[in-house]
């Protein structure tokens, strides 16, 4: 398979309601869609979501990286199943993990299409039905309780709660109130998005010892590996690395320095599926469980993340709730590549990532 043409365009995606974390507030996203054409007629599709507060990537920088740097390098190149071309491509530009991910996804989509398989089967197989949590964004305690009750009634069996902006007593009380409202029956996954200091994190976590909490995600700044290790050593609640983890070298450092108990793999951070699989394999060696997560992003990258997760045995947690946040008016299965169930996403048996709408 030889690459003959690469095109990009913007896919605007509106959310049903505003989503707020300790890092940002978002009601829509302009996703950069990439189409990679091959000489056998196959077109691989990928997406990059601009999340500048995490990856540093913007709509303009993603578009420029693909059109001005990666595209000219890739056109005319042959593709092999090991995707060795990605290693060469990544060396052309430091960082820029989101445009790299879009191309990686499109190349995996193309290979799976060439094999006439859904991507998850091409990657090794697994269950096409994935039970996801739902993320409750930051709001008043009253609103967060209402949102939690609504989502449980809609069929979600676990909730991810965004915190990181309020004083200690309010952070602690929010989870207590939600737990009481839900009768202590729903496990929480807490995400502070780097919002606490190590000492504040330890103080807060020790207040929740009687609440069903699966893990705490990225309690301190992404660069504070020592702080992460301190929190991990001083709480019985498992700690998950997110913004501290981009590539395989981050993963090894996090695990070697005992900074966390769990890893959150996101394709927009790992520069795509190839590096995500390397992180997953390292986690398997260390016997560390993973979560597959996404940011507020597009249809192609979400579908790719779900396909990767389905094929990855070390992924035990699924944070794939973004499809439940999209305003899908006028969209069909060929647009989004996934079916949306009651608290779960379902992969289709279409080839690749399941998106055929150009």
Question: pLDDT per residue over 285-294, tens digit each?
Answer: 999 999 999 9
Is pLDDT at 358 greater than 70 in this prediction? no
Share of the chain above pLDDT 70, in %: 99
Over 70: is that where the pLDDT of 190 sits? yes
**Active-site hit among 90, 174, 266, 274:** 266
What is the 3-class SS of the chain, one letter each residue?
CEEEEEEEEEEEEEEEEEEECCCCEEEEEEEEEEEEEECCCCEEEEEECCCCCCCCCCHHHHHHHHHHHHHHHHCCCECCCCCHHHHHHHCCCCCCHHHHHHHHHHHHHHHHHHCCCEHHHHCCCCCCEEECCEEECCCCHHHHHHHHHHHHHCCCCCEEEECCCCCHHHHHHHHHHHHHHCCCCCCEEEECCCCCCHHHHHHHHHCCCCCCEEEEECCCCCCCHHHHHHHHHCCCCCEEECCCCCCHHHHHHHHHCCCCCEEEECHHHHCCHHHHHHHHHHHHHCCCCEEEECCCCCHHHHHHHHHHHHHCCCEEEEECCHHHCECCCCCCHHHHCEEECCCEEEECCCCECCCCCC
Does residue 269 have an active-site annotation? Answer: no
304-355 pLDDT, tens digit per residue, is: 999 999 999 999 999 999 999 999 998 999 999 999 999 999 999 999 999 9
pLDDT in tens, 94-103: 999 999 999 9
Residue 45's pLDDT is 98
Residue-level pLDDT at 357: 64
Give me the chain's average pLDDT, please: 96
Per-residue pLDDT tens digits for 266-278: 999 999 999 999 9
- Report whether pLDDT(283) > 70: yes
- Is residue 179's pLDDT more than 80? yes
pLDDT digits (tens, 9 = 90+) for 4-54: 999 999 999 999 999 999 888 999 999 999 999 999 999 999 999 999 999
> Catalytic residue at 287?
no
pTM, 2 dp = 0.96
Question: Which residue in the list 162, 174, 230, 269 is annotated as catalytic?
Answer: 162
> In the structure, what pLDDT confidence band is assigned to residue 302 with cuts at 50, 70 and 90?
very high
pLDDT of res. 82? 92
User: Which band of pLDDT confidence, cut at 50, 70 and 90, is reported for residue 356?
Assistant: confident
């Amino acid at each position: 398979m030889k690459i003959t043409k690469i095109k990009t365009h913007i896919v605007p995606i509106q959310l049903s309601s505003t989503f707020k974390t300790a890092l940002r507030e978002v009601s829509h996203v302009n996703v950069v869609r990439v189409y990679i054409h091959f000489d056998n007629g196959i077109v691989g599709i990928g997406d990059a979501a601009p999340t500048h507060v995490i990856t540093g990537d913007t709509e303009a920088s993603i578009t420029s990286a693909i059109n001005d740097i990666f595209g000219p390098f890739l056109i005319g190149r042959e593709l092999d199943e090991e995707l060795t071309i990605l290693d060469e491509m990544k060396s052309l530009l430091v960082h820029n993990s989101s445009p790299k991910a879009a191309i990686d996804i499109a190349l995996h989509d193309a290979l799976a299409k060439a094999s006439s398989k859904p991507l998850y089967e091409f990657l090794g197989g697994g269950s096409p039905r994935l039970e996801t949590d739902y993320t409750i964004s930051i709001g008043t305690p009253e609103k967060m309780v209402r949102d939690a009750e609504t989502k449980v009634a809609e069929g979600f069996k676990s909730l991810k709660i965004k915190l990181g902006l309020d004083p200690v007593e309010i952070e602690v009380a929010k989870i207590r109130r939600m737990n009481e409202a839900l009768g202590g029956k729903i496990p929480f996954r807490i995400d502070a998005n780097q919002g606490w200091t190590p000492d504040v994190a330890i103080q807060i976590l020790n207040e929740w010892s009687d609440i069903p909490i699966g893990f705490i995600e990225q309690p301190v700044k992404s660069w504070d590996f020592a702080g992460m290790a301190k929190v991990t050593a001083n709480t019985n609640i498992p700690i998950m690395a997110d913004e501290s983890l981009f590539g395989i070298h981050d993963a090894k450092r996090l695990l070697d320095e005992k900074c966390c108990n769990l890893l959150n793999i996101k394709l927009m951070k790992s520069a795509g599926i190839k590096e995500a699989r390397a992180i997953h394999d390292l986690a398997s060696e260390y016997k560390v469980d993973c979560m597959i997560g996404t940011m507020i992003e597009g249809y192609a990258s979400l579908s790719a993340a779900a396909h990767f997760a389905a094929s990855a045995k070390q992924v035990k947690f699924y944070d794939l709730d973004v499809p439940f946040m999209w305003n899908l008016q006028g969209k069909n299965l060929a647009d989004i590549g996934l079916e949306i169930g009651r608290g779960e996403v379902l992969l289709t048996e279409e080839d690749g990532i399941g998106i055929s709408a150009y």
